Chain A
Amino acid sequence: MDFLLIPRKEEEIEKEQDVIIIGGGPAGLTAGIYTGRARLKTLLIEESSIGGLASLTATIENYPGFPEGITGKELSRRLEEQAKKFGTKILDAKVLSLTLDGIWKIVETTKGIYRAPSVIICSGTKPKKLGIPGEREFLGKGVSYCAVCDGAFFIGKKVAVVGGGDAAVEEALYLTHFAEEVYIIHRRDELRAEKITQEKAFSNPKIKFLWSHIVKKIEGDKKVERLILEDLKTKEEKIFPVDGVFIYIGLTPQTELYSSLLKLDENGFIITDENMQTSVPGIFAAGDVRVKSLRQIVTALSDGAIAGVSATKYLEEIKFKGGI
């Protein structure tokens, strides 16, 4: 047996906090460790599962200090335990809005309204959609964005992975535990994934590549049966029979709630300075959700630590000025 996930205790949570962290991935949990250690009353709100996207990764091989690798769920579990150890409370709820009321930041959730002078947004990203016919229709019927959830349905079958980055190639490797054939379909003629991951993929007999191809349509009767591909070099269209397709073409930030409040870049990522400060004093952002050059667990942790310390300093400053 792999593991047994232990549930969280329901906690009494005060409506007034020092820091509210939105999102319980690696960045949010790390921010919680730092603000907790600063003895700030910290509430972390997570709408889905603790660990965020990291918890969906089967094995994380490039996380420093773990030469044997660590599973996404084990790392998430440890970060959560550490954040709670220093007093961070976790609320299982969806954030509905973030508004300002003087010095207070008001966070409305599905489980009540909370406020704090300081908020750290670590809402992360969600998988980018291809936006092609059939993608929505066949969701759960062969179209998936979660290999660890759905890989086991494709034992002995033929699947496609769309994308060429780290996630695409790592998940393709994971899928070889189940599928007979895994085709990586990539619009370029080389991968963007880490070289070591590429090497593993190239030497795996179950993985094959379709370079310079894009998926135009996903088709089938009741479930995915084939992809319609375009060869970008010859402009030829071809029918490609598959049982499933896993889409890893990048990430889109979860910032819809903050678009009118904070400065975002053209892709919707939150703009911060090096202290993780956003365009609104007291609101910080950390992890994949902000504009940055490398979106990895290790950089998310770093962001979280900086945001935690920045929030602490901000609270000291406003208290000094008599803001509260």
Chain B
Amino acid sequence: MALLRDEDRKYLENLFKENLKDKVKIILFSEKSSGSKLYIPGRIECPYCQQTREILEEVVSLSELLELEVHDFLAEEILAKKYGIDKIPAILFQKDDEVLNLRFFGIPSGYEFSTLIEDIVDISRGETHLSEKTKNFLKTLTKPVHIQVFVTPTCPYCPRAVRLAHQMAMENKLITADMIEAIEFPHLAEKYQVSGVPKSIINETVEVEGAVPEDIFVEYVKSAIKA
């Protein structure tokens, strides 16, 4: 069943046609049996894997420049480890044989669907919308930075926080930026004390509540590097 309405499909088709430049491969780590009613003992449950796959299949069908590659999280453990995937559904992006350090953990639905589309456009065009000041700061990084942004699909403020982190990861490979759908990963929400979104965790040490402006977020990144 098509998830997108006809008018939205047409709109996105046109948006991709006008804006995509280079090929982007979307890599999904999922579970093979997702969607099946068969219960397999020992297999982890992934209630949103099937829907995530359906969304991505529909998105890649809208442009010849997009491609989807699906991997089974358990059967392809080594590959999952290589990409640092420890939970599913997980979405990564590959451009020119290089896998980028920005990921979606959990379903990109609701407001986060727009994040997914905007990410795809930026990756394909090889450009971000960050300010020159931010870009210059990101060039000075010497150590890895890990940004985890917790969201819910019904949070209108959340895409701003995820987009900011993802664009930072596009600018510098030392940054890994993850969207984490908090409701799907309650153990992480619990671990990081998330009961409001968006909430960003930088290098496990610095917490940012809310969608803060770009320059303020950069200051948080700086303080996480110093910590």
Contacts and interface: CB of A to CB of B under 8 A. Distances in A.
Interface stretch (B22-30, B37-45, B90-98, B189-197): B189-197
Contacts of A143: 196
Interface in A130-158: 139-144, 146, 148-150, 152-154
Contacts of A148: 154-155
B194 A5 contact: no
Interface stretch (A48-56, A228-236, A290-298): A48-56
Contacts of A7: 15, 114, 117-118
Contacts of B33: none
B109 A4 contact: yes
A146 B196 CA distance: 9
A6 B156 CA distance: 12
A149 B182 CA distance: 11
A222 B193 contact: yes
A115 interface: no
B117 A152 contact: no
B113 interface: yes
A244 B152 CA distance: 17
A4 B210 contact: no
A154 B197 contact: no
B174 interface: no
A3 interface: yes
A149 B113 contact: no
B197 A150 contact: yes
Contacts of B114: 5-7
B195 A223 contact: yes
A5 B189 contact: no
Interface stretch (B4-12, B66-74, B139-147): B4-12
B210 A139 contact: yes
A321 interface: no
A2 interface: yes
B154 A153 contact: no
B155 A149 contact: yes
Nearest to B160: A48
12 contacts: A2-B153, A2-B154, A5-B110, A5-B114, A5-B159, A49-B157, A94-B213, A139-B210, A140-B195, A149-B155, A152-B152, A222-B193
Given A2-B109, A94-B213, 7 more contacts: A73-B156, A140-B210, A141-B195, A143-B196, A149-B157, A150-B195, A153-B182
